[in-house]
Amino acid sequence: MNNKNININNICVFASSSNFLDECYYQDAKELGKLIGQSGYNIVYGGSTLGMMWACAEEVKNNGGKIYGVMPQKLVDMGCRTDNCDEFHLSIGMRDRKEKMDFISDGVIALAGGFGTLEELTEMIVQKQLGYNKKPIIILNTNGFYDNLLKFFDEIIEEKFANKITRDLYYVASTPKDAIDYINNYTEPELTVSKHEIYSR
């Protein structure tokens, strides 16, 4: 598989909006945001002042990066929006929110999160599997949060519900620095998307 360099400016971060987590999760989110900003990248995220999402975005801003927020009207009406975004994009619902975040980002990092984060992450993996994007997709496995999910991913592949090449579509990072190092050195894969490759063993 041949690779070529990819231009990355905006990194989409998926993460929990909970304010009631163990401190280690917020610390990794803050460290990631710091490294994103210091590395010359911007953040695309959900646009709120909540949880790990804001812990990461605020540090991007504090370290020279820009914040691009995307939020559906329903959450704006609930008072979740921050006024600190350099650009804020209003969506109708969750589906077009994800579409907009995908459109304006060049790479994806999934931090620990709930069902929304899981949905966003797996959709991006499927998009890459089918050749709709060639973006770096990183899972930041803080505190072993994703260990069981990654085992389930392996089970999906081992039971032949997905091709073994699916493992190459995402990268599991153990630290924020590991995640940014992967982004910094990422080369765009020359994906050959065919019925045979998707459905063969």
Domain that holds residue 162: 8-199
Strands of the chain (E only): list them: 3-5, 10-14, 42-45, 67-72, 87-91, 107-110, 137-140, 171-173, 187-189
Tens-digit pLDDT profile for residues 84-103: 999 999 999 999 999 999 99
Q: Residue 1 pLDDT more than 50?
A: no
The answer to whether residue 1 is domain-embedded is: no
The answer to whether residue 169 is domain-embedded is: yes
Q: Which two tokens stand for residue 140?
A: 């930041």
From 70, 22, 55, 68, select the one nearest 176 (Cα to Cα): 55
From 127, 92, 150, 93, select the one nearest 12 (Cα to Cα): 127
The answer to whether residue 3 is domain-embedded is: no
Percent of the chain with pLDDT over 70: 92
The answer to whether residue 81 is domain-embedded is: yes
The answer to whether residue 122 is domain-embedded is: yes
Mean pLDDT, the chain, rounded, equals 93
Q: Residue 195 pLDDT more than 80?
A: no
Amino acid identity of 143?
Answer: N
CATH of the domain at 53: 3.40.50.450
The answer to whether residue 161 is domain-embedded is: yes
Number of domains into which the chain is organized: 1
Q: Look at the pTM and tell me if it is higher than 0.75.
A: yes
